[in-house]
Homo-oligomer: A and B are copies of this chain.
Amino acid sequence: MGSDGEPGGQPLTERGARTRERLLAAAREVFEERGFPETRVAHITRHAGVAYGSFYTYFPSKEAVFLEVADRLFEDMTRHALVPSAGPSPADRVRRANRAYYEGYLRNAKMMAIIEQVATFNEEFQELRRKHRAAQVGRSARAITRWQREGLVPPDVDPEMAARVLAAMVDHSLYLWLVQSHDPPGTERLLDTLDMLSVRALGLPSQLGEP
């Protein structure tokens, strides 16, 4: 409303930075525990050990902390998902990517559930998520295109669509398995199936030298 420092701005002092960090960490924990709609600002501040009002010193709204928590999570997921393109066979690259995604999912499973939740009603957040997804799908699509040029993937495969569909397969399978079923035993079988189906769906030779 004025030219004053907007709330939610970055803190300038050392102490302020610590408080902000505490709030972010507390927010994540409370969101994981109760979900977004059931989380009260008071829960977050109590958990962080700061005064109620201080929340609004660092974040303009409950939504805003969530966005930031989610952003950090996406960052984490993406950073670890990078698989060196040079190296073993395409099939192995697919397997490694799947495993890396699984590791990330496991690390962040609870928060992934909440992200799914918020994505169902918050348009701004949907947009953020679409972007992250598009980047990931883009990378996979480019790999598929390359493999097609090398004759490893049949030419009738639409790289963009295949990338989308396989990403949906892995993502949603992990969601149902880790989030909705609370991590049941036998995860190895699930991962093996994901790997196998991904590789065969693309028609990749599963071993070096295989047709």
A interface vs B, CB < 8 Å? Answer: 4, 6, 35, 37-38, 40, 42-43, 113, 116-117, 120-121, 126, 130, 133, 156-158, 161-162, 164-166, 168-169, 171-173, 176, 180, 189-190, 192-194, 196-198, 200-203
In the complex, A120 Cα to B35 Cα: how many Å? Answer: 9
Give chain B residues whose Cβ lies under 8 Å from the Cβ of A202: 197, 200
Task: Tell me whether B193 and A162 are in contact (CB under 8 A).
Answer: yes
Closest CB pairs A-B (n = 4):
A169-B169, A172-B172, A117-B120, A161-B193
Task: Tell me whether A37 and B40 are in contact (CB under 8 A).
Answer: no
A-B contact pairs, 16 of them (CB 8 A): A4-B40, A4-B42, A117-B120, A158-B189, A161-B190, A161-B192, A162-B197, A164-B176, A164-B193, A165-B194, A168-B169, A168-B173, A171-B172, A172-B172, A198-B201, A200-B202
In the complex, A100 Cα to B189 Cα: how many Å? Answer: 29
Give chain B residues whose Cβ lies under 8 Å from the Cβ of A166: 169, 197
A113 CB contact (under 8 Å) in B120, B164, B190:
B120
A126 CB contact (under 8 Å) in B156, B157, B180, B200:
B180
In the complex, A77 Cα to B141 Cα: how many Å? Answer: 32
Give chain B residues whose Cβ lies under 8 Å from the Cβ of A120: 35, 113, 116-117, 120
Task: Tell me whether A121 and B164 are in contact (CB under 8 A).
Answer: no
Query: Nearest chain-B residue to A198 (Cβ)?
Result: B201
- Given the known interface contacts A6-B42, A120-B116, the answer about A156 and B35 at a Cβ–Cβ threshold of 8 Å is no
CB distance from A193 to the nearest CB of B (A): 4
